[in-house]
């Protein structure tokens, strides 16, 4: 049965159970199994069918004790990628649009703060035409920031965030589901 | 389709094993294997996935048990469990719920003849 305890110990280490807690659980388990064997009780009588699946047993014990996060339910595990997929696709589309705008240069989008002044339009005086200035003056005060670049930066940041979320999700879903012991 | 015998027994035990553990440790502090023996002495064997260790972990996390380490009959130090005040309250409430559920199920199942034709 020391092999069973060793497999549990390895699983706890893999799951990130703090060493003192893992040592305590392993010692308790080993002592109980030893006493049971000395009294003629099988490991299965002590552990039930968990004796055939030490990894699930170890994960379940650690999760129930609260020393590792409880594995997400199947429903949550399904919903999360859908949200992630949507977010990632949106970020990718934004990136493509921004890149296309940058490459083609059309349309030229700028964020413009404009101020327009209109000169009074007077009817031309009678007699020979007299040269005058423009009848209408439009002033653009342009403090422009190219939208393409803003979109590109937003898309890149969003894609980076999406990559981080994906890596977190895959590591969360990696451990085997904890057996529903007891 | 109805669950087979061992599977049904596992499912029935799953809902009350925490109460059973609190009950046997209320008789006196006990470590894991000792609790298994007390349960077996009353005819309640661990079946299916019903290991007590994850359940003891949950009781500890929920503050329903207190633990301490002590040597057992000259042997290595063991982790002893006993109900906390919250655990004793949970046991009393749980036993009431169990009895009510048992009586209701008995009322439904009592008329059923249990002889099985061979």
> Does A116 share its domain with A43?
no
Residue B117 Cα, gap to closest chain A Cα (Å): 32
Pick the closest to residue A7 from A69, A63, A58 (CA basis).
Answer: A58
CB contact under 8 A, B46 and A45: yes
Helix B52-61 vs helix B32-41: angle between axes, to the nearest 10 degrees? 120
pLDDT in tens, B37-88: 999 999 888 766 668 999 999 999 999 999 999 987 777 889 999 999 999 9
Helix (H, G, I), strand (E, B) or coil at A122: coil
B46 burial via Cβ count (<10 Å: 0-12, 13-18, 19+)? buried
Q: Which of A48, A63, A65 sits opposite B49 (nearest CB)?
A: A48
> Does A81 share its domain with A107?
yes
Q: Which of A21, A37, A65 is the last residue of a domain?
A: A65
> Does A108 share its domain with A163?
yes
Q: What's the confidence (pLDDT) of residue A180?
A: 37
Length of chain A measured in residues: 182
Domain count, chain A: 2
Q: Is residue A19 part of a domain?
A: yes
Local structure of residue A50 (DSSP, 8 states): G
Q: Is residue A179 part of a domain?
A: no
> Does A165 share its domain with A88?
yes
Helix (H, G, I), strand (E, B) or coil at A110: strand
Domain ranges of chain B: 12-108
Does the pLDDT value for residue B20 go beyond 90? yes
Q: What percent of chain A has pLDDT over 90?
A: 29
> Cβ distance B35 to B52 under 8 Å?
yes
Give the domain range for residue A140.
74-120+134-172
CB contact under 8 A, A32 and B31: yes
Q: List chain A residues with CB under 8 Å of B47.
A: 48
> Does A58 share its domain with A108?
no
Q: What's the confidence (pLDDT) of residue A98?
A: 83
Residues 51-80 of A with CB under 8 A from B: 57, 60-66
Q: Is residue A178 part of a domain?
A: no
> Does A99 share its domain with A165?
yes
B82 beta partners: B66
Pick the closest to residue A107 from A141, A144, A147, A155 (CA basis).
Answer: A147
> Does A14 share its domain with A34?
yes
Q: What's the confidence (pLDDT) of residue A141?
A: 45
Integer Cα distance of A46 and A32 in angstroms? 9
> Does A87 share its domain with A56?
no
Q: For residue A107, is the peptide bond before it cis, meaning its omega torsion is within 30 degrees of 0? A: yes
Q: Map chain B to HEC letters.
A: CCCCHHHHHHHHHHHHHHHHHHHHHHCCCECHHHHHHHHHHCCCCCCCCCCHHHHHHHHHHCCCEEEEEEECCCCCEEEEEEECHHHHHHHHHHHHHHHHHHHHHHHHHCCCCCCCCC
Q: What's the confidence (pLDDT) of residue A59?
A: 94
Q: List chain B residues with CB under 8 Å of A45.
A: 36, 40, 45-46
The DSSP secondary structure of A63-102, one letter per residue, reads: HHHTSSPPPPPHHHHHHHHHHHHHHHHHHHHHHHHHHHHH
Q: Which of B13, B40, B79 sits opposite A28 (nearest CB)?
A: B79
Residue A71's pLDDT band (boundaries 50, 70, 90)? Answer: low
The fold of B12-108 is Arc Repressor Mutant, subunit A (1.10.10)
- Mutation site for A-interface testing, chosen from B56, B57, B62 by largest number of A Cβ within 10 Å: B57
pLDDT in tens, A86-138: 888 898 888 888 888 888 776 555 555 555 544 444 555 555 655 555 555 55
ipTM for the predicted complex: 0.84
């Amino acid at each position: 049965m020391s092999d069973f305890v060793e497999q549990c110990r390895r699983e706890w280490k893999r799951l990130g159970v703090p060493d003192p807690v893992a040592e305590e659980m392993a010692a308790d388990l080993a002592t109980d199994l030893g006493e049971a064997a000395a009294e003629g009780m099988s490991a299965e009588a002590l552990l039930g069918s968990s004796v055939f699946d030490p990894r699930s047993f170890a994960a379940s014990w650690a999760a129930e004790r609260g020393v590792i996060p409880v594995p997400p339910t199947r429903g949550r595990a399904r919903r999360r990628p859908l949200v992630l997929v949507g977010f990632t696709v949106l970020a990718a589309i934004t990136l493509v649009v921004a890149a296309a705008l940058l490459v083609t240069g059309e349309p030229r989008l700028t964020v413009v703060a404009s101020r327009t002044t209109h000169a009074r339009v007077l009817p031309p005086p009678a007699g020979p035409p007299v040269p005058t200035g423009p009848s209408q003056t439009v002033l653009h005060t342009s403090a422009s920031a190219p939208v393409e670049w803003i979109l590109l930066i937003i898309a890149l940041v969003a894609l980076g965030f999406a990559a981080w979320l994906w890596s977190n999700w895959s590591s969360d879903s990696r451990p085997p589901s904890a057996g529903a012991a007891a | 389709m109805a669950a087979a015998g061992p599977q049904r027994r596992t499912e029935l035990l799953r809902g009350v094993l925490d109460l059973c553990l609190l009950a046997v440790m209320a008789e006196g502090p006990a470590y894991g294997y000792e609790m298994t023996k007390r349960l077996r002495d009353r005819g309640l064997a661990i079946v299916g996935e019903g290991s007590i260790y994850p359940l003891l972990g949950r009781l500890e996390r929920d503050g329903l048990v207190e633990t301490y380490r002590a040597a057992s009959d000259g042997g290595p130090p063991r982790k002893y469990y006993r109900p906390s005040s919250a655990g004793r309250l949970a046991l009393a409430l749980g036993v009431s719920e169990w009895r009510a559920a048992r009586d209701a199920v008995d009322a439904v199942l009592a008329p059923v003849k249990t002889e099985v034709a061979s």
